[in-house]
Chain A
């Protein structure tokens, strides 16, 4: 029998997630990171950056539903969106389902991620031809610094705080985002996992920095099988709208959007955090 090829993703120093690989499609080093796309029997095609799983075909809908539909169901009228990162195109795809959005500025640092995903993950990179998209290949921190009072929604769909995404987890970045948002703007971000200690420490720091910058910060969660521990957090930082009090389920349901993970019952539930996660987040805040 031919030797099996396995991909082992780092979760912590002594823990890996293994997936059997049947075919490798992309293995390259871009200017910023190592990009790989391969096929697995269980998760379909898998995208990794610097050896870490960004998405799989089978479960990407969970992450993208949650990072986009939660804020979109809260803010009454999103017209201008800034999407930072998200080169795979999944967040863009979900945003493009909202007709009231007039412009989406998408700032991705690595054009190769976009190129390779358009080629090998077309179901995810499905909306790159949308006319509302203004795609910019640049450093997110630099881009946001030059904008004031412009966006209704900023989505930070980034890698981890090591590597090219590191500046997207800093206090200065959140401060610059605060200024780039309109008076009732919302910021949502990928908020790391609360489980493995190194990731949990990052989650704690993100929360600490967001609360130092925004008047209202809530954290919500989703179950994402391919991510370390499977338990993932998102941050909801807002200048005015509260994700529960200002959430209008009827309004969102009237849109008739079908989503496989998100629904308006889940919207309320996903903000209810386990005790240990609450303790973790609050431990860093005065």
Chain B
């Protein structure tokens, strides 16, 4: 508290106040983990250490990037800080190379594999979408079939276009009360496997955006019995690896590959991600790396990669403690929100042992229809009136992500704001959009349709043709059409019904989704 004699850019007391109350309660310095966890190999962060060493050596850069440790771009340096720009470096001997890692990146990947109990792990810097691409493109040859639930992320459909694969859809159940798509029922997966015995892999969302998990162990057993790979979109399930109170993780369930968005709920920088390999594909690691390198940047960001290394270390050493707290916060929020009246902050009680096998307790999914407001309306009110941003809202629900960075004080704010919203804006309950699953008729592969010559037709005139683009509908967050699928009367009726009910329609080149590109006859 003595006068330092020199003005600092960020007054330490302000900084302390900002940091105060975060989950870790730690100051502005990285602890000495090797002293705190003696003998634990996870206490190391080899890539972080190498990049720090690079910085301390004050090397003169006659290589890219051209900002030269920030000197060439004072505006960016002022915005991001000098510390950040001095480690925005390019691949070089000291810091390894993601395309062909042999030293510190490789060591960091091996530690990540151990932390996630995987046979191998690849750092990904093109988002989890690139990990999804890696899984699908390394498992399918052109024309091969992939069994997948209908409510997949768009990156899965896009990967099928690149892999020239054929989708075989399984109907995700829809929860009638909540109006949300669920997971896959093992019985349906078994049936689909029987009907498509030559499919190469089964893809599973684990969890869905809403926190719904399928019976991954059983689905893995069924797929492996039929000689198929299990590919897991675990984008929203990083934390499963670090808590026994959460659904089984992909690697624990015996899956062959998993795409893990470390940035979503783990705390690394946006766009950084992991591709995990299970025992089943250990021997294919070289081929998978080659597939990943097809579309991976050759200038991988060290900011992203160091964030993966530091996050892996933190979760490996303290993940249990961190997610215990996250679960406590989410459970507390649910119980308080359910006491307000009207809102339904649902949890385990909705599981059914089938397509809703397990629930991710860290997802604060709240059903809002009984207060007469759509989830998206509550989402908008929280943002516009209370400066609270939740992840998304659909017709019946909104989702708040509770994660490593949350604090009790902001949970209280969310609860208090929901009390206010009910009081000030609540209305009589209204009916929910009834979701009927329209079974897709796949006429050609997404790639064939995507690359075909097309006609642009009014939607109503497209009946009987083959779609060349997707139509997504929120809710329920399931594609109604994907490239290669037949435009039936049922599909058109569903789109018009969803539109009339206020669903958000997206995916076509035409913003209003009134016109559709179809494959030219």
Query: Which residues of A are interface residues toward B (Cβ below 8 A)?
Result: 5-8, 10, 13-14, 16, 18, 21, 27, 32-34, 36, 38, 50-52, 139, 141-142, 145, 160, 162-164, 166-167, 170-173, 175-176, 179
B424 within 8 A of A: yes
Mostly helix, strand, loop or mixed at chain A's interface?
Answer: mixed
> What residue in chain B is nearest A175 (Cβ atoms)?
B420
Q: Which residues of B contact A179 (CB under 8 A)?
A: 423
Cα distance, A230 to B14, chains bound together (Å): 20
Q: 24 interchain pairs (CB within 8 A)?
A: A5-B2, A6-B2, A7-B2, A8-B2, A8-B4, A10-B13, A10-B14, A16-B3, A21-B1, A34-B16, A50-B17, A51-B11, A51-B13, A142-B415, A145-B416, A163-B17, A167-B409, A171-B385, A171-B420, A172-B416, A172-B419, A175-B416, A176-B419, A176-B420
Cα distance, A13 to B423, chains bound together (Å): 41
Q: Which residues of B contact A32 (CB under 8 A)?
A: 20-21
B3, B4, B20, B408: which contacts A50 (Cβ < 8 A)?
A: B20
Q: How many residues of B contact A (CB 8 A)?
A: 30
Q: Which residues of B contact A13 (CB under 8 A)?
A: 7, 9, 11
- Residue pair B423, A170 in contact (C-beta under 8 Å): no
CB-CB contacts of B1-44 with A at 8 A, as 1s and 0s?
11110010101111011101100000000000000000000000
Sample of 8 more A-B contacts, CB < 8 Å, known A172-B417, A173-B416: A13-B7, A142-B412, A145-B416, A170-B386, A170-B416, A175-B420, A175-B424, A179-B423
Q: What 10 A-B pairs have minimum CB-CB distances, sorted nearest first?
A: A51-B13, A172-B416, A163-B17, A172-B417, A175-B420, A162-B17, A6-B3, A10-B11, A141-B412, A50-B17
Q: Which residues of A contact B3 (CB under 8 A)?
A: 6, 8, 16, 18
- Residue pair A164, B412 in contact (C-beta under 8 Å): no
B413 within 8 A of A: yes
Cα distance, A15 to B13, chains bound together (Å): 14
Q: Which residues of B contact A139 (CB under 8 A)?
A: 408-409, 412
> What residue in chain B is nearest A140 (Cβ atoms)?
B412
Cα distance, A18 to B4, chains bound together (Å): 11
Q: Which residues of B contact A10 (CB under 8 A)?
A: 11, 13-14
Question: Taking A171-B385, A172-B386 as contacts, is the C-beta distance between A163 and B20 under 8 angstroms?
Answer: yes
> What residue in chain A is nearest B16 (Cβ atoms)?
A50
B12, B18, B412, B424: which contacts A162 (Cβ < 8 A)?
A: B18
> What residue in chain A is nearest B19 (Cβ atoms)?
A163
> What residue in chain B is nearest A7 (Cβ atoms)?
B1
- Which of B4, B408, B419 is the most central at the interface, judged by chain A CB atoms within 10 Å of its CB? B419
B514 within 8 A of A: no
- Residue pair B385, A162 in contact (C-beta under 8 Å): no
Q: Which residues of B contact A52 (CB under 8 A)?
A: 13
Give residues of chain B (401-431) contacting chain A, Cβ–Cβ below 8 Å.
408-410, 412-413, 415-417, 419-420, 423-424
